[in-house]
């Protein structure tokens, strides 16, 4: 499956979204991440055939998300692939009626250390919910909240990536962004609980 073509995350997204170089992008993804995703399934009581099925489903889901503009690079491609693999594997276990094993996988994931990727990443559902809200708040708020919630940067680290004069000014801006988001949530029926759950999953 090796290919000489290499891609950054941004180039992968562009190649798949524009449909100009999808095959090369997928070959690169298989070559780079297949063993990582396979290892996840195998270490959670799956077989090599299970892993192959999961990876295929993950690639289809990734292409759909990008081409439907539901993923725009908020998290790394590696993190997204791992999240999708986890969700697909738990779904497969559910269909098999393996409730006990599925629960064991879910409960022990946070304690499993992976060399190449964090063993616990936020759910895709939470990511999509919050990203849609951040977009409504404008570029400045979206950048601050994305760095804080998705990249887990401290305020001091975020300060180096923004133009604010001090950490206190940055904190004030973040507070205003969250206040604006809270007011929007309160004005939107049925949205408050889902956003609260999403925020809790990112902490």
Interval 134-151 mean pLDDT: 82
The answer to whether residue 97 scores a pLDDT higher than 50 is: yes
Dist CA 106 CA 87 (whole Å): 10
The answer to whether residue 124 scores a pLDDT higher than 60 is: no
Tens of pLDDT along 164-202? 888 888 988 988 888 888 777 777 766 656 565 555 544
pTM for the full predicted model: 0.49
Interval 78-99 mean pLDDT: 80
Categorize the per-residue pLDDT at 121 as very low, low, confident or very high, splitting at 50, 70 and 90: very low
The whole-chain average pLDDT of the chain stands at 76
Categorize the per-residue pLDDT at 19 as very low, low, confident or very high, splitting at 50, 70 and 90: confident
Q: What are phi and psi of 201, to 5 degrees?
A: -75, -15
State the pLDDT at residue 107.
Answer: 46
**Upper half-sphere CA count for residue 64 (Cβ side, 13 Å):** 7
Dist CA 90 CA 104 (whole Å): 10
**Could you tell me which residues come within 8 angstroms of residue 191 by beta carbon, excluding any fewer than 6 positions away?**
185
Interval 150-160 mean pLDDT: 81
The answer to whether residue 29 scores a pLDDT higher than 90 is: yes
In the chain, where does DSSP find H-type helix?
9-18, 22-42, 48-67, 77-95, 99-108, 124-136, 139-149, 155-159, 167-187, 192-201
- Class of the 9-111 domain? mainly alpha
Pinpoint the residues of the chain covered by CATH 1.10.1740: 9-111
State the pLDDT at residue 56.
Answer: 92
The answer to whether residue 129 scores a pLDDT higher than 70 is: no
131-151 per-residue burial string, b: 16 or more CB within 10 A, e: under 16: bebbeebeeebbbbbbbbbbe
| % of residues, the chain, pLDDT over 70 | 71
| Number of CB atoms found within 10 A of residue 162's CB | 14
Tens of pLDDT along 32-87? 999 999 998 988 888 899 999 999 999 998 998 898 888 877 778 988 898 889 88
Dist CA 148 CA 203 (whole Å): 10
What angle separates helix 77-95 from helix 9-18, to the nearest 10 degrees?
Answer: 60
């Amino acid at each position: 499956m090796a290919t000489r073509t290499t891609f950054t995350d941004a180039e992968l997204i562009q190649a798949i979204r524009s449909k100009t170089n999808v095959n090369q992008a997928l070959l690169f993804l298989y070559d780079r991440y297949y063993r990582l995703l396979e290892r996840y399934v195998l270490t959670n009581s799956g077989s090599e055939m299970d892993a192959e099925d999961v990876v295929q489903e993950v690639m289809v889901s990734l292409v759909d998300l990008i081409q439907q503009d539901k993923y725009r690079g908020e998290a790394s491609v590696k993190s997204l692939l791992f999240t999708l693999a986890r969700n697909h594997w738990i779904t497969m276990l559910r269909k098999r009626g393996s409730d006990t094993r599925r629960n064991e996988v879910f409960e022990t994931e946070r304690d499993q250390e992976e060399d190449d990727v964090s063993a616990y990443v936020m759910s895709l559902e939470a990511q999509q919910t919050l990203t849609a809200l951040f977009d409504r708040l404008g570029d400045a708020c979206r950048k601050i909240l994305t760095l804080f919630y998705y990249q887990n940067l401290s305020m001091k680290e975020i300060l180096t990536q923004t133009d604010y004069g001090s950490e206190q000014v940055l904190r004030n801006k973040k507070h205003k962004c969250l206040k604006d988001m809270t007011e929007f949530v309160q004005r939107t029926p049925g949205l408050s609980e889902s956003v609260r759950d999403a925020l809790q999953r990112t902490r």
